Amino acid sequence: MKTLFRRTLWIGLLLSAVVSVAQANKVPRKSKKDEVVTISTPQGVIRLVLFDVTPLHKANFLKLAQSGFYNGTTFHRVIPGFMIQGGDSNSKDDDPTNDGTGNPEIKLIPAEIRSELMHKRGAVAAARTPDFVNPDRQSSPSQFYIVQNPQGTPQLNGQYTIFGQVISGQEVVDQIAQQPVAERNRPVTDIKMTVKVEKLRKKKITELYGYQY
């Protein structure tokens, strides 16, 4: 009787261990939907998708976009053949000299730099302060840039967190990059944005914009 009990107990423990290992190794089911971020500007509309492999940046951007934070901010720095940068709350006020300086009291985002993500045309990445004050390459809590150069900007690979990609409206990025600028590459005329988020089936996103998951 004791032998049978011990054997039953051993089998029960073994099954529990197998179930625990299986649960630990269970791959999370991938969602069939994704968020499309739409940025509307005077030059036209830009649409983005954000990457799941940079979860902190994706969640942060979506939170800001859905809260209306970006509405009224501008693309405050544009360089043709390079990129366009925006998303600073300071660009909402009437003082052009503080655009891009950010809010030092807001916590930075830990870097999520991944070797497979490159600064190709249309890449969306987080702005940040230089290495000498930011050796961990933490990202700005809101400012981002979009690569405009048709050949990309490979010199930035591995240095900034790329967290998204333009899927529609790259020609609008090109138009914004060509706007007349004053000091610090700030456009003479404000390029204000409004941002909204829409959740669609990935299959629909591919049908509409040709983006492949």
Residue 13 binned pLDDT confidence (cut-offs 50, 70, 90): very low
Does residue 199 surpass a pLDDT of 90? yes
Token pair 């730099």: residue: 113
Count of all residues that appear for the chain in the document: 213
H or E element in which residue 62 lies: helix 55-67
Which region among 30-39, 102-111, 183-192 has the lowest average model confidence (pLDDT)? 102-111
Domains of the chain: 33-209 (2.40.100.10)
CA 115 to chain centre: 15
Structure tokens at 35: 């968020």
DSSP 3-state assignment of 207? helix
Annotate 125-167 with DSSP letters as a single string: EE----TTT-TT-PBPSS-EEEE--TT--GGGTTTS-EEEEEE
d(CA 85, CA 104): 18
CA-CA distance, 211 to 198, in Å (whole number)?
Answer: 16
Residue 116 has pLDDT above 60, yes or no: yes
pLDDT for 213 beyond 80: yes
Average pLDDT, the chain: 90
Q: How far apart are CA 107 and CA 4, in angstroms?
A: 60
CA-CA-CA-CA torsion sign (82, 87, 92, 97): negative
Q: Give the pLDDT confidence of 54-94 residue by residue, as tens digits.
A: 999 999 999 999 999 999 999 999 999 999 999 999 999 99
Residue 15 has what pLDDT? 46
Average pLDDT for 155-167: 98
pLDDT at 9 over 50: no
C-beta separation of 126 from 140 below 8 A: yes
Q: Which amino acid is at 9?
A: L
Question: Which residues are paired to 86 by β-bridges?
Answer: 144
